[in-house]
Structure formats: structure tokens, C-alpha cells
Amino acid sequence: MTFRTERPLDDIDWALLKELQADGRLSYNELGRRVNLSSPAVAERVRRLEDAGVITGYHARVDAEHAGFPVAAFVQMRCDQDRCLLKTSTAADYPEVVEVHKLSGDHCSMLKVRAGSMAHFEGLLERLGKHGQMRTSVVLSTQYEGRPVEPGSDDWTGATQSVGWSRSD
């Protein structure tokens, strides 16, 4: 379900989001202290952000490797129509899948998966293979992840125009 805020996010909303993304367990008192608002004002703003779907939940961040799943990989799927992964299975069928993204282009979806070993990963690929063709990339190391959502820059621009590819009639 997609939500839209009734109003654009202001600087205080972004300050609250920044603090909550860094530590979702902060009390309204502590949030208020950090953004210079009263606890009731913070509670009201957080409730509005939740109701608008901007805040979708509060989560513990788990280190998958320390939890026993050291193998990370991305699997691009090119599913057969009658065996499409997203139409013929559920999340419960593949607990190793931690993210699913529908794609444009040559592949229909990209999965981020976690496995306890290479043998476990191989077995997962055998199970996924019944849905169609796959292209896999094993993650050797992760350099950066978990970037918080931040406000956009005022100087962001759209795509540049292609010079030399316009009709000159």
C-alpha cells in the first residue's frame, strides 16, 4: 500500500526521522530534547508520520553473519510465466530470501539471500531454479549499507539532455 503525506515533510519531521532511523528506541522525551519540541508535540508528529506511512515500523538490526548466516548473495531471476516465483510461492517457502525487488529489463526480479554455508546456498539455488533462469553474485564483502532516508537536495537535477540526438529539421 502506498501512502502520501498530507503535507510535505518539514525540517522538524526530517530531524525526527534522522533520530529514529539512528535509534528507533528513543523515548518521546529524548526525541523532544534532541529536536527542541515537547513530548506531546513529538508524539503527535510521530503519529502523523506513522499514519501517513512514512514510518512503517521499528526494527532491531541483526548481523546476519553473527546470527549464523554468513553467505550473502544476489540472485537475479528470469522466471517462466507459469512458474513465476512471485506467483507460485510464498515468503515462507524461502526463508533465506531477505529482500525481493521486481525489475525492469532482462530479469523480472532480484533477490537478496542469506545462507548458513555454501552447501546451504547451493541447495537454495536448486530450489529457486525450478522457477526459471538465474544469475547469481555472491557478496564478498559489504562496504556500505543501511543508509538512512534523508531529505533531498535543492540542487538535484533531472537527467541531462542528449546532445546530438535531436532532430534538426
Q: Does 89 lie in the same domain as 43?
A: no
Dump the DSSP string for 59-114.
-----TTTTT--EEEEEEEEE-GGG-HHHH--GGG-TTEEEEEE-SSS-SEEEEEE
Return the CA Rg of the chain: 22
Can you tell me which residue has the cell 546456498?
Answer: 121
Indicate whether 156 belongs to any domain.
no
Q: How many domains does the chain have?
A: 2
* 113: its cell numbers: 539471500
- Which residues, listed in sequence order, are joined to residue 99 by a DSSP beta bridge? 112
Indicate whether 121 belongs to any domain.
yes
Range(s) of the domain holding residue 46: 11-51
**The pLDDT of residue 131:** 95
Q: Does 95 lie in the same domain as 37?
A: no
* 93: its cell numbers: 517457502
For residue 104, give Cα distances in angstroms to 77, 82, 110, 135, 151: 11, 19, 10, 15, 26
How far apart CA 87 and CA 93 sit, in angstroms, is 12
**The pLDDT of residue 153:** 76
Instruction: Write the single-letter amino acid at 143.
Output: Q
CATH number at residue 18: 1.10.10.10
**The pLDDT of residue 2:** 43
**Residues with pLDDT less than 50, the chain:** 1-3, 5
pTM of the entire predicted model: 0.78
Number of residues in the chain: 169
Instruction: Write the single-letter amino acid at 76.
Output: Q
Query: What is the tens place of the pLDDT at every residue in 136-164?
Result: 999 999 999 888 999 887 776 677 776 77
